[in-house]
Structure 1
């Protein structure tokens, strides 16, 4: 069994709640399924769960380099130099990242509101980009955008390999 879940902001990639964060148990009432790849509590979007250990490894293990696609709202204006740096790979404190695909995109037209909303500064514009990576380091996308001078405000995973969010409402799941 393979489940796709549109993880809201503030939900951990585990069934047990912890501190101020809620757990998957508040959204998914299934037993025997396990997360295939993490998504930070302050990130949103596609999270896959499965009851098949081999499938879980194929999706989550960095050796398989399954692509992950993100919509990222950043503080500041995107430049060609920043997009080129992200595409070539940036050096983080744990070493250089693999090359990525990075492109400027329009703000998503049909995006659910985030609770709580992101901070907006009247004098600092925001931009959106699509970033496709093949690694899964801790907070990698946030660290990559910060490395090019664009702090991440909102991070939404829209795809993992061939599996896509495709309009699944936030907080809901569906068996694939």
Structure 2
């Protein structure tokens, strides 16, 4: 099969292919669980985001007030890096499970919009992704005034699969 013949139609097929690539690096001893997880989060996630990443509809108050796209972050509230590293470690120890990987990536790729300083705060070990500990209040999309949504939609554009759900 030539390079041009390989066509992956669904997000599930694409994620299965990614899993095979990252786990092959583990099988041959090139990478450990963290390195393999990096294969997804740093090599492939950006390319797949339009198919797999979903906006939750939640935006921090600070992001709403921010008024511009620069400085906004699509934040993974389910701690994608930590959780995927743990999952891959489990697969190394207990056996590979592509279906579990695909399912978990799809769950973990839900994002909120926050400002960069909030994202940095959420990463701290003492906060560990806890929005209430970080003092971050989230608003649901319907609570955000229409004029304030414009810069948020620009941040989402081209980065999520479900943008049409949030266009007015």
TM-score with structure 1 setting the length: 0.23
Larger helix share, 1 or 2: 2
Larger strand share, 1 or 2: 1
Q: Which has the larger radius of gyration?
A: 2
